[in-house]
Amino acid sequence: MARLTARGLLPVFAFLTACTAPAQQPAAKPASAPAAAVPAKVAPVKAEPSKAEPAPVRAAPTRPAAPELWAVTRLRNVDYVSVRDIAQRFGLKPAWTKAEQRLTLSDARGVRFAFESNQNDFYFDGIRVFLGRPVLLHKDSVWVSLLDVMKTVAPLFRPVDHVAQLPAAAPRTIVVDPGHGGIDPGKENKRLGLNEKTLTLDVALRVRKILELRGWRVLMVRDKDVELSKDKKADLLMRDDFANRSQADLFLSIHFNSAERATGFETYALAPQFMLTTGNESGDDMTKVAFPGNRFDFANLLLGEQVHRAMLAGLKTPDRGLKRARLAVLRMLDCPGVLAECAFLSSDEEARRVATPEFRQQIAESLATGVQNYADALAALRAPLAPPVPAATKSR
């Protein structure tokens, strides 16, 4: 399979917008937290996008040499791995909870994974995670595509195996991107007089205050109701370009969603090269492209997981899943990044909660906690690799 780079395709892909909204959701009860007012400090970005084309990614292709690592079976013309082999590799106990349909993997902590045939998602330690391809029933097991195992299932369970591909330095500078702004209102609930651009800015300012109190350096893509460019394509490109020029360690884009009869939150990380994006069953021109952001596939996943877990714990709204997409604000990043869709403005009930300062503070605290948990997880993974301090140099 030919491996492409982002250089020649960037103008075509700039049309991709930041927000998406697949269906499916469970029900959940709301929670609340105290509000906090945050002053604006950082001037909005006025710079135009960088004229230089991004350099192609010089990394090994995403597709691994499968037979050397996992036993694979060709199903629907795609390499698949048995979930029973995943269980054996990680010392987990497989068990059917629905005969020949739902297979769980457990250890002393309880159920760690739950896979169900013909589904494009699974559950890992209680959070919903989406795959590129559906889980298939075959013989006495359910099967997950090899690429999903290598890029999602295995690194979620054993991130330490991929520590060499994670950032070496502790993240301290984060760029926070309040979605939309100015002439672009984003999603709207006209019945309640709410729009996305105002709400994302409010949440972003709250996130900034929380993270700054924790010692982070926080830069804002915008801190006022302004667009970065009158041209939507340029506006999107300027957001990750600002993060790159700022030499950010992390990028967090904040959004609100809209879809019929949908509620809850979802988190997006950049789809790895060759992986189908959530909701896309056939792929497109971008599927084979290695974007600059794909250099951080494992860090993107770890960041996405930690943000998603924090949102689930803090908001207690429906878990719509940790998803994969090639969003414009994530593709060209020179650092790990995620996009959070915090709630659905199309739901009057949920939009009324978003309209309250208390719920927006909950969102901000959850996002900030997820970012901090990522930094802590990264430090914990790196700790065993740190060389011991010679006795002669230890402080007395």
Tell me, what's the pLDDT at 358?
Answer: 98
d(CA 84, CA 114): 12
Q: How many CB atoms lie within 10 A of CB 227?
A: 18
Q: Are 338 and 267 in contact (CB under 8 A)?
A: yes
The answer to whether residue 321 scores a pLDDT higher than 50 is yes
* Mean model confidence pLDDT for the chain: 86
Q: Which residue would you say has higher pLDDT here, 46 or 353?
A: 353
The answer to whether residue 391 scores a pLDDT higher than 90 is no
Q: Which residue would you say has higher pLDDT here, 62 or 177?
A: 177
Domain residue ranges of the chain, discontinuous segments joined by +: 69-157, 165-382
Question: What integer is the mean pLDDT of 263-271?
Answer: 98
Here the tokens at position 47 are: 């710079």
Q: Which residue would you say has higher pLDDT here, 339 or 66?
A: 339
Tell me, what's the pLDDT at 25?
Answer: 38
3-state secondary structure of 114: strand
Tell me, what's the pLDDT at 34?
Answer: 35
Tell me, what's the pLDDT at 8?
Answer: 43
Here the tokens at position 24 are: 């499916």
Residue 184 DSSP symbol: B
Q: pLDDT for 70-86, tens place per residue?
A: 999 999 999 999 999 99
d(CA 367, CA 216): 14
d(CA 127, CA 91): 21
Q: Are 307 and 348 in contact (CB under 8 A)?
A: no
The answer to whether residue 42 scores a pLDDT higher than 60 is no
Helix (H) or strand (E) holding 84: helix 83-90
Nearest one of 18, 321, 7 to 179, comparing CA atoms: 18
pTM, to two decimals? 0.82
CB burial readout 261-274, b (16+ within 10 A) else e: ebbbbbbbbbbbbb
Q: pLDDT for 150-163, tens place per residue?
A: 999 999 999 999 99
The answer to whether residue 188 scores a pLDDT higher than 50 is yes
Tell me, what's the pLDDT at 384?
Answer: 73
Q: Which residue would you say has higher pLDDT here, 2 or 236?
A: 236
Q: How far is CA 356 from CA 1, 32, 40, 294, 342, in A?
A: 50, 10, 19, 37, 14
Of the listed ranges 22-26, 130-134, 185-189, the least confidently predicted one is: 22-26
Tell me, what's the pLDDT at 56?
Answer: 40
Tell me, what's the pLDDT at 41?
Answer: 36
Residue 106: strand pairing partners: 93, 111
Question: What integer is the mean pLDDT of 97-104?
Answer: 92
Fold of 69-157: Copper Amine Oxidase; Chain A, domain 1 (3.30.457)
Q: Are 289 and 5 in contact (CB under 8 A)?
A: yes
Tell me, what's the pLDDT at 69?
Answer: 86
The answer to whether residue 17 scores a pLDDT higher than 60 is no
d(CA 358, CA 299): 31
Residue 132 DSSP symbol: S
Q: Which residue would you say has higher pLDDT here, 82 or 35?
A: 82
Q: Are 279 and 320 in contact (CB under 8 A)?
A: no
Q: How sure is the predictor about 27, in pLDDT bands with cuts at 50, 70 and 90?
A: very low
- CATH superfamily for 165-382 is Zn-dependent exopeptidases (3.40.630.40)
Q: How sure is the predictor about 390, in pLDDT bands with cuts at 50, 70 and 90?
A: low
Q: How sure is the predictor about 271, in pLDDT bands with cuts at 50, 70 and 90?
A: very high
Please report, rounded to a whole number, the percentage of residues in the chain having pLDDT higher than 90. 78
Pairing verdict, β 173-178 and 217-220: parallel
Q: Which residue would you say has higher pLDDT here, 21 or 337?
A: 337
